[in-house]
C-alpha cells in the first residue's frame, strides 16, 4: 500500500483546469521508469543525480533516417555533424561511424574533430572567429573553410600568398527567404551587394579560389518552403558564378531542422507543429535539382549538397534525470518543486517547454506545478507550468528531449556539471563524461605565491562588529 504525502491545509483560488465545454476530463500524466530498458533509479544509484542519459540506438536510427530522406532524392548528399549542438566525444564518434563529417565553428571544435580522427578534408569550418594559427592549420589540412566576413577573407588571401597557392574558400551568405526571419549577422548579405563584392574579390585574387556557397537561414525552421527558397537563391547565384566556366564543388544549406521539442509560443503540440523530415528533404532536393539542371544540360555533374543538421539528430536521443530536493507553494497557491538541475544543466528551458515525466507512479491528481532549479537566480525556472501529481523529496523526473545544446551549454555556475552516460548494446551503460567535482572545476586555477596562505583566522560570530550587545 502506497503512503500518501501529507499537505498542510491552505486557502487558494479555485482553478478549473480540467473543465472544457464538453464537461470534465481527467488529466493523466505519463510516467517513465526506464530509458532504453535501464531503470531510472538504477542509473541514479550508480551515477548520481542529475544525470544526462544518451541513447546510442536512437542516435543511430535518427541519422540513418535523416540521411535516407535526402538520399531518396539525391545521392551526393553530405551530412556535417554540428559539433556545437553536442560535442561529447562518444556522440561525435557514433555519428562519424555513421558517415557524418564534422561541422565546427571554432578552434576548439576543429581541434576536437581532428583529435577524434576526422581528416581535415571532412571538416566544414564555419564561425566568425578563425584566427591565423587555426586558419593556417585548416588550410594545410584541406578543411572546407567557410568565410564569414571581409577581414577573414583578407587574412586567408594573405596566408595563400605566403604559401604561394590559391586557397579554396566557400562564402557564407545571408538573405531573405520570404518564409523565415532573416539571419543577417553571419556571412555576406546578398541584398546589399556585399555577397557579390566578395565573389568578385575572390575571382580577382591570385591566392583565392571559390569552392562553394553556404547559407544558414536560422534555427528550428518550421516551414520547409524556407529551405526551398534558400536553395533556389543559392543555385541562381552559383549559375551566375559559373558563367565564366569556373565550377563550384558544393552548395551547403546549413542546418536549422527542428526536433519534436515543445518550442515556447507555439500553440500546437510538437507532433502537429513540426513537419515531417521528408517534407524538408523534398523541398530542399527538389529546388536543388531544378536549380542545378543547367549542369546536366552542359554534360556535367551536379555539385554535392551539404547540410549541417544537429538538433534533429540528437535532441530526442538524450534525456535528463533530475531529483526533487524541496517543495514549496507559490504566492498564487500552486505547488512548486525545487530540482537538483536547472538552467545550469538545461539552458534550453528558456526557449522550450520540455516534456517532464515522473519516474514513479502518481500519488494523486495532477495539478499545475512550477519546477525551479537549484541556482540562486530568479530566472532559474525549468517549467513555469506543467501538469504533475504531488511530488515528494527524492522523486525522480525524466526530462526529454534535451540532447541539443544542453551538455555543450551547461554551466560551471554554482553547481557541478553532471555526468553523461551512454546506453548501448543490450542495456549496457558506459560513462561518457564524468561528473565534475572540486578538483575538476579548480584545475585551471593558479594561486599566486603571496596568496597561498592569505586567508586570515576568522573571529567568532558573537565577536564580530554589529553583534548583539555592541
CB 247 within 8 A of CB 210: no
State the pLDDT at residue 268.
87
Arch. (CATH architecture) of 56-314: Alpha-Beta Barrel (3.20)
State the pLDDT at residue 461.
59
State the pLDDT at residue 21.
43
State the pLDDT at residue 22.
39
pLDDT tens digits for range 417-443: 999 999 999 999 999 999 999 999 999
pLDDT tens digits for range 2-55: 566 666 666 555 554 444 443 444 456 899 999 999 999 999 999 999 999 999
Distances (CA, A) of 306 to 105, 117, 123, 266: 16, 20, 12, 29
Average pLDDT value over all residues in the chain: 93
Nearest to 56 by CA among 314, 353, 338, 391: 314
Torsion of CA 437, 440, 446, 447, to 10 degrees: 20
Residues of the chain with CATH 2.40.37.10: 29-53+316-440
DSSP-derived secondary structure for 115-150: HTT--GGGEEE--S---HHHHHHHHHTT-EEEE-SH
Top-level class of domain 29-53+316-440: mainly beta
**Contacts with 445 (C-beta within 8 Å, 6 or more apart), sequence order:** none
Average of per-residue pLDDT across 95-107: 98
State the pLDDT at residue 364.
92
State the pLDDT at residue 130.
98
pLDDT tier, 452 (very low <50, low <70, confident <90, very high otherwise)? confident
Q: Could you tell me which residues are beta bridge partners of residue 427?
A: none
Residues of the chain with CATH 3.20.20.10: 56-314
State the pTM of this model: 0.91
State the pLDDT at residue 301.
95
Cis peptide bond prior to 156, omega within 30° of 0: no
DSSP 113: H
Amino acid at each position: 500500500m502506497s503512503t500518501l504525502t501529507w499537505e498542510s491545509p491552505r486557502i487558494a483560488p479555485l482553478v478549473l483546469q480540467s473543465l472544457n465545454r464538453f464537461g470534465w476530463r481527467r488529466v493523466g500524466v505519463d510516467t517513465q521508469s526506464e530509458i532504453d530498458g535501464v531503470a531510472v533509479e538504477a542509473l541514479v544509484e550508480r551515477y548520481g543525480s542529475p544525470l544526462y542519459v544518451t541513447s546510442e540506438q536512437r542516435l543511430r536510427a535518427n541519422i540513418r533516417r535523416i540521411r535516407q530522406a535526402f538520399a531518396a532524392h539525391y545521392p551526393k548528399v553530405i551530412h556535417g555533424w554540428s559539433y556545437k549542438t553536442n560535442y561529447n566525444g562518444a556522440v561525435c564518434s557514433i555519428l562519424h561511424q555513421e558517415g557524418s563529417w564534422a561541422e565546427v565553428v571554432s578552434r576548439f571544435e576543429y581541434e576536437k574533430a581532428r583529435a577524434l580522427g576526422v581528416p581535415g578534408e571532412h571538416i566544414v569550418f564555419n564561425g566568425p572567429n578563425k584566427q591565423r594559427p587555426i586558419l593556417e592549420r585548416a588550410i594545410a589540412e584541406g578543411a572546407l573553410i567557410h568565410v564569414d566576413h571581409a577581414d577573414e577573407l583578407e587574412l586567408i588571401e594573405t596566408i595563400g600568398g605566403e604559401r604561394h597557392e590559391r586557397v579554396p574558400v566557400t562564402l557564407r551568405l545571408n538573405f531573405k527567404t520570404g518564409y523565415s526571419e532573416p539571419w543577417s549577422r553571419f556571412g555576406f548579405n546578398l541584398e546589399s551587394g556585399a555577397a557579390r563584392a566578395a565573389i568578385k574579390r575572390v575571382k580577382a585574387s591570385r591566392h583565392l579560389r571559390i569552392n562553394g556557397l553556404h547559407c544558414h537561414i536560422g534555427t528550428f525552421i518550421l516551414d520547409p518552403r524556407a529551405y526551398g527558397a534558400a536553395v533556389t537563391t543559392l543555385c541562381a547565384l552559383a549559375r551566375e558564378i559559373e558563367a565564366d566556366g569556373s565550377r563550384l564543388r558544393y552548395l551547403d544549406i546549413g542546418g536549422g531542422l527542428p526536433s519534436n521539442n515543445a518550442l515556447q509560443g507555439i500553440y500546437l503540440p510538437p507532433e502537429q507543429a513540426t513537419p515531417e523530415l521528408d517534407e524538408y528533404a523534398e523541398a530542399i532536393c527538389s529546388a536543388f535539382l531544378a536549380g542545378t539542371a543547367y549542369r546536366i544540360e552542359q554534360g556535367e555533374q551536379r555539385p554535392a549538397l551539404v547540410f549541417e543538421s544537429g538538433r534533429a539528430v540528437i535532441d530526442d536521443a538524450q534525456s535528463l534525470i533530475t531529483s526533487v530536493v524541496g517543495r514549496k507553494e507559490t504566492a498564487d497557491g500552486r505547488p512548486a518543486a525545487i530540482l537538483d538541475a536547472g538552467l545550469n544543466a538545461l539552458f534550453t528551458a528558456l526557449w522550450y517547454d520540455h516534456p517532464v515525466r515522473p519516474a514513479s507512479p502518481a500519488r494523486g491528481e495532477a495539478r499545475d506545478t512550477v519546477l525551479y532549479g537549484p541556482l540562486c537566480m530568479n530566472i532559474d525556472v525549468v517549467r513555469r507550468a506543467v501538469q504533475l501529481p504531488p511530488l515528494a523529496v527524492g522523486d525522480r523526473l525524466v526530462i526529454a528531449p534535451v540532447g541539443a545544446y544542453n551538455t555543450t551549454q551547461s554551466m560551471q555556475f554554482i553547481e557541478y556539471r553532471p555526468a553523461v552516460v551512454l546506453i548501448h548494446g543490450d542495456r549496457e551503460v558506459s560513462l561518457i563524461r564524468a561528473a565534475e567535482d572540486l578538483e575538476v572545476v579548480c584545475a585551471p586555477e593558479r594561486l599566486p605565491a603571496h596568496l597561498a596562505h592569505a586567508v586570515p583566522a576568522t573571529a567568532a560570530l558573537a565577536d564580530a562588529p554589529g553583534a548583539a550587545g555592541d
